[in-house]
């Protein structure tokens, strides 16, 4: 054991998300990051067609990412994550541009939505752990003028988030109430992950 973390197994985050990397780095974890090429749109479309619940769909997406990277690194412990935004209006994806971000925020304002955040771990060709966190966020009934200023300030950054907001940045001004772990809102149920890693001797207990 060196510091908090054992040198083995290697930890690999199956994600290109800078927010997820920042969460793990801030927690003091040593890991590698590798983007997983997964057809997320097809998985979501099939899940919706089959009326699969959002939590199960998020787990399917996280599992697909972890499994893809784990094929090449069977000895490593591979972490896969995914997140779905669920509201009364349905599921939302990352907006493709600022116009789509505006429409999404207009649909969410004045309402509460959920960020269904799934995490799985793979090792030796098997999924060995999974967890789902469901933070709830209530957006203020923000004005169109506020949205103009917000979108101008954040620009393309809003297209990198499933909610069209960075709650770790100016996006926090959109909300009147936030329930749930901050790290889970950013895409990683961190406390549950740390507990799993301690139980398996990866982190010092």
Note if 63 is an active site residue.
no
CA distance 128 to 199: 12
| Secondary structure (H, E, C), the chain | CECCECCCCCEEECCCCHHHHHHHHHCCCCCEECCCCCCHHHHHHHHHHCCCCHHHHHHHHHHHHHHHHHCCCCCCEEEEEEEEEEECCEEECCCCCHHHHHHHHHHHCCCEEEEEEEEEEEECCEEEEEEEECCEEEECCCCHHHHHHHHHHHHHHHHHCCCCCCCCCHHHHHEEEEECCHHHHCCCCHHHHHHHHHHCCCECC
Catalytic residue among 39, 56, 63, 82: 82
Residues with a catalytic annotation lie at 82
């Amino acid at each position: 054991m060196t510091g908090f973390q054992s040198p083995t197994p290697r930890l690999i985050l199956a994600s290109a998300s800078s927010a997820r990397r920042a969460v793990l780095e801030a927690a003091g974890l040593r890991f590698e990051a590798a983007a997983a090429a997964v057809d997320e749109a097809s998985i979501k479309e099939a899940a919706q067609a089959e009326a699969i619940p959002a939590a199960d769909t998020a787990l399917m997406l996280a599992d697909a990412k972890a499994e893809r990277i784990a094929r090449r690194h069977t000895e490593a412990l591979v972490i896969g994550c995914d997140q779905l935004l669920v509201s009364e209006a349905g599921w939302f994806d990352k907006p493709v541009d600022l116009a789509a971000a505006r429409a999404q925020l207009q649909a969410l304002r004045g309402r509460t939505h959920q960020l269904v955040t799934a995490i799985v771990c793979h090792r030796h060709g098997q999924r060995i752990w999974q967890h789902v966190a469901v933070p709830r966020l209530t957006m203020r009934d923000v004005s169109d003028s506020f949205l103009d200023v917000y979108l101008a300030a954040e620009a393309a950054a809003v297209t990198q988030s499933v909610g069209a907001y960075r709650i770790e940045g100016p996006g926090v001004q959109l909300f009147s109430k936030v329930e749930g772990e901050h790290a889970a809102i950013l895409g990683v149920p961190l406390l549950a992950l740390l507990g799993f890693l301690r139980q398996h001797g990866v982190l010092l207990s």
